[in-house]
Amino acid sequence: MNSDLFALIRGRVGAALAASAAAVPEDVLARIEVSPPREAAHGDMASNAAMVAAKAVGQPPRVLAETLARHLATAPEIAAAEVAGPGFLNIRLHPAALHAVIPAILAAGEAYGDATIGAGERVNVEYVSANPTGPMHIGHCRGAVVGDALANLLAKTGFAVTREYYVNDSGAQVTALAWAAYWRYLRAIGSDIAAEDFAARAPSGLQYRGEYLIPVGAALAEKFGRSLAAEDGGVAPPEMWFERVRDCAIAAMMAAIREDLDLLGVRPDVFASERELVASGAVEAVIARLAQAGLIYEGVLAPPKGKLPEDWEPREQTLFRATQFGDDVDRPLRKSDGSATYFANDIAYHADKIGRGFTTLIDVWGADHGGYVARMQAAIRALAGDRARFDVLLCQIVHVLKGGQPVRMSKRAGTFVTLRDLIEEVGRDVVRFIMLTRKSDAQMEFDLDQAVAETRENPVFYVQYAHARCRSVLRHAAEQGFPTTPEALAGVALDSLADAAELALIRRLAGWPRLVEGAARAFEPHRIAFFLYDLAGDFHILWNRGREAATLRFIQPERPAETGARLALVAATAMVIRSGLAVMGVAPVEEMR
RNA sequence: GCGCCCUUAGCUCAGUCGGAUAGAGCAACAGCCUUCUAAGCUGUGGGUCACUGGUUCGAAUCCAGUAGGGCGCGCCA
């Protein structure tokens, strides 16, 4: 059977429509849905087909629906189809059709729900891309998890996914990092130069004062001795030390970031270096391309409307005609010293991705970069027209709560919560799960107390608990001599599964492929978390029924046939939970401690 | 001032390319259980989907405007 029951029935509806009416346009067909009904009393599935197609067919919705219902009633899976409301088709399935979901799951394993909508299209998901200027903190964490889960989701639905991290190892922030590391170096070789005195001598002050650079200073002292300092152990001219210190500092920061990512279970396929990109000439090449296309000019931008910045003065700049591609203003590509802006580098980077053969580019950014989306969109349209699709997922800020109080984070005060701290406090799987319990563009509160609570309030616990219960049942059954392998359970008779709670659980399982596909199309990995929470709820209900009525327990030693059917259902449930957790990058637990 | 995102139950949030009587958890209230399958279970109340207008068979969903919140706004990345 088709392993997506909803897709199967949608096919039946399509066939019924083809048999009842003249050709219906493609765009109308595409709008036909077969979905779970809001009310369980409406049956197993509902379709809007008659309402959607009524106009094209030239019949009132209810009349068309009656015709479709008659055709549908002849389909082997369908027990009844009736018309309701303004023209809904309510479809009731034969129990056997629902039951067939279970062996399909057991046969497919974690691959149940895999789809082919990606058709092998090459997608590049760029996420995290934290500047290599310090350890990762909570602010980076959400984007890392969302990007990683999205990549998993797209891979599951047939896209050829590359996970990429863009290393901003060029520019002012990295220069500031080099100076900060140099200060730590001077301290390491015995200089007592104070932070304020050093800041006065560094071109952009001393921006990174965190203790995490102390080991970098020590390593520099170890490697270079006093050779990077002036005779008196003070600040030497940058030509003497800058590149070596910078490279060393970046390497140390990237090593730390990779460790942090690894703790989180994030392992990018590609680390793309901005500095290498610039060195390769790609930026000048892409500016030349745009110039050739007539999309660059020297001009003066109008000041922002409303209140004028204090230091505003008109300046002539090299501008990209972003307004031709939907942006509000044209955007500068060069600073006044002639060097490229970050935007110019980023255009070159995205052009590079397109050049590597990706046709869908997805960037996961912090919400503070929201104002940047339109110009990047414009640049990509200018370069690739409609040959490449570009989407940005903006991740809103995460507020951390402890004891009901917000945990204030300040780099300067040194109180920011690092990713490592967070993982050590609640665990990697909890971090990943919680980060996916909100739409990415909604603000989120991360309640440290709730994250480790063992109650229904904690979705991680609730879902893991359902999986552990499933596994526990299967372990007990195996001890009592019941077959519990997927192969064995895929062959058992399932007729006895007729309880309302059992059928509700099966319906939920049947919806997994549909959910996966929808989440992938919308780039919304958080839907997986909500689905698993609901699925866990359905399972827990069934489990609790057994507390009251012994005959509803999964294992019935005197009734091997019913037990087999229930074990198959339990095994299928565990499999779908595993499958969902795999997308989220969370490891399923076999038992609760 | 302009642009983007957001506004759904007391709280935190779901809500599928527009679909039927808008859902869940928490909190509140009322019962049950006091056990063994494992950290309780069942039920009830609670909504002008920020507001106003529009599109249509049908709008929380799309469009326009208003109010409130977040983010951003020429050589930071």
Q: Between the CA of A170 and the C1' of B67, what is the distance in angstroms?
A: 44
From A552, A504, A577, select the one nearest A40 (Cα to Cα). A504
Query: For residue A175, which nucleotide's C1' is closest to its Cα?
Result: B77
**How far is Cα A13 from Cα A17, in angstroms, rounded to an integer?**
6
Grade residue A494 by pLDDT with cuts at 50, 70 and 90: very high
Ranges A22-31, A189-198, A235-244, A505-514: which has the least confidence: A22-31
Q: Which phi and psi angles does A312 have, rounded to 5°? A: -65, 135
Query: For residue A394, which nucleotide's C1' is closest to its Cα?
Result: B5
Grade residue A1 by pLDDT with cuts at 50, 70 and 90: very low
Residue with CA nearest C1' of nucleotide B17: A31
- State which nucleotides on strand B lie below 7 Å from a protein beta carbon: 1-7, 12-26, 36-42, 57-58, 70-77
Residue with CA nearest C1' of nucleotide B7: A442
Q: Is a pLDDT exceeding 70 seen at residue A507? A: yes
Predicted local confidence at residue A308, as pLDDT = 65
The helix/strand/coil state of A406 is strand
Query: For residue A306, which nucleotide's C1' is closest to its Cα?
Result: B1
Domain edges within chain A: 5-93, 172-262, 455-584
Structure-token pair, residue A38: 């809001």
Q: Is a pLDDT exceeding 80 seen at residue A337? A: yes
Which CATH topology does A5-93 take?
Answer: Gyrase A; domain 2 (3.30.1360)
Q: Between the CA of A540 and the C1' of B44, what is the distance in angstroms?
A: 22
Q: Between the CA of A325 and the C1' of B71, what is the distance in angstroms?
A: 23
Q: Between the CA of A384 and the C1' of B27, what is the distance in angstroms?
A: 53
**How far is Cα A478 from Cα A485, in angstroms, rounded to an integer?**
9
Query: For residue A550, which nucleotide's C1' is closest to its Cα?
Result: B37
Q: Between the CA of A534 and the C1' of B36, what is the distance in angstroms?
A: 26
From A536, A530, A555, select the one nearest A478 (Cα to Cα). A555
The helix/strand/coil state of A413 is coil
Q: Between the CA of A306 and the C1' of B66, what is the distance in angstroms?
A: 20
Grade residue A451 by pLDDT with cuts at 50, 70 and 90: confident
Query: For residue A337, which nucleotide's C1' is closest to its Cα?
Result: B75
Beta-ladder partners of A445: A399
Q: Between the CA of A304 and the C1' of B74, what is the distance in angstroms?
A: 8
Query: For residue A300, which nucleotide's C1' is closest to its Cα?
Result: B74
Q: Identify residue A510 by its one-letter amino acid code.
A: A
Query: For residue A555, which nucleotide's C1' is closest to its Cα?
Result: B37
> Domain A455-584 in CATH: superfamily?
Isoleucyl-tRNA Synthetase; Domain 1 (1.10.730.10)
pLDDT tens digit sequence for A278-287:
999 999 999 9
Q: Between the CA of A424 and the C1' of B39, what is the distance in angstroms?
A: 23
Sheet with A270-273: list strands edge to edge. Answer: A270-273, A160-167, A122-126, A360-366, A389-395
Q: Between the CA of A160 and the C1' of B72, what is the distance in angstroms?
A: 33
The one-character DSSP state at A552 is: G
Q: Between the CA of A456 and the C1' of B29, what is the distance in angstroms?
A: 20
pLDDT tens digit sequence for A7-60:
999 999 999 999 888 778 888 888 889 998 877 788 899 999 999 898 888 888
Predicted local confidence at residue A34, as pLDDT = 92
Beta-ladder partners of A413: none
Q: Between the CA of A367 and the C1' of B71, what is the distance in angstroms?
A: 6
**How far is Cα A226 from Cα A224, in angstroms, rounded to an integer?**
6
Residue A502 near residue A584 (C-beta atoms within 8 A):
no
Residue with CA nearest C1' of nucleotide B21: A39
**How far is Cα A517 from Cα A574, in angstroms, rounded to an integer?**
20
Query: For residue A319, which nucleotide's C1' is closest to its Cα?
Result: B74
pLDDT tens digit sequence for A221-250:
999 999 999 999 999 999 999 999 999 999
From A261, A198, A181, A282, select the one nearest A234 (Cα to Cα). A198
Residue with CA nearest C1' of nucleotide B33: A548
Residue with CA nearest C1' of nucleotide B1: A306
Query: For residue A43, which nucleotide's C1' is closest to its Cα?
Result: B20
pLDDT tens digit sequence for A278-320:
999 999 999 999 999 999 999 888 777 665 666 777 788 899 9
Report, as an integer, the average pLDDT of A161-173.
93
Residue with CA nearest C1' of nucleotide B2: A305
Structure-token pair, residue A509: 């399982």
**Higher pLDDT pick, A564 / A27:** A564
The one-character DSSP state at A137 is: B
Residue with CA nearest C1' of nucleotide B57: A86
**How far is Cα A592 from Cα A494, in angstroms, rounded to an integer?**
29
Q: Between the CA of A546 and the C1' of B32, what is the distance in angstroms?
A: 16
Residue with CA nearest C1' of nucleotide B39: A454
**How far is Cα A25 from Cα A23, in angstroms, rounded to an integer?**
6
Q: Between the CA of A368 and the C1' of B69, what is the distance in angstroms?
A: 15
Residue with CA nearest C1' of nucleotide B71: A368
Residue A121 near residue A77 (C-beta atoms within 8 A):
no
Predicted local confidence at residue A409, as pLDDT = 59
Predicted local confidence at residue A340, as pLDDT = 92
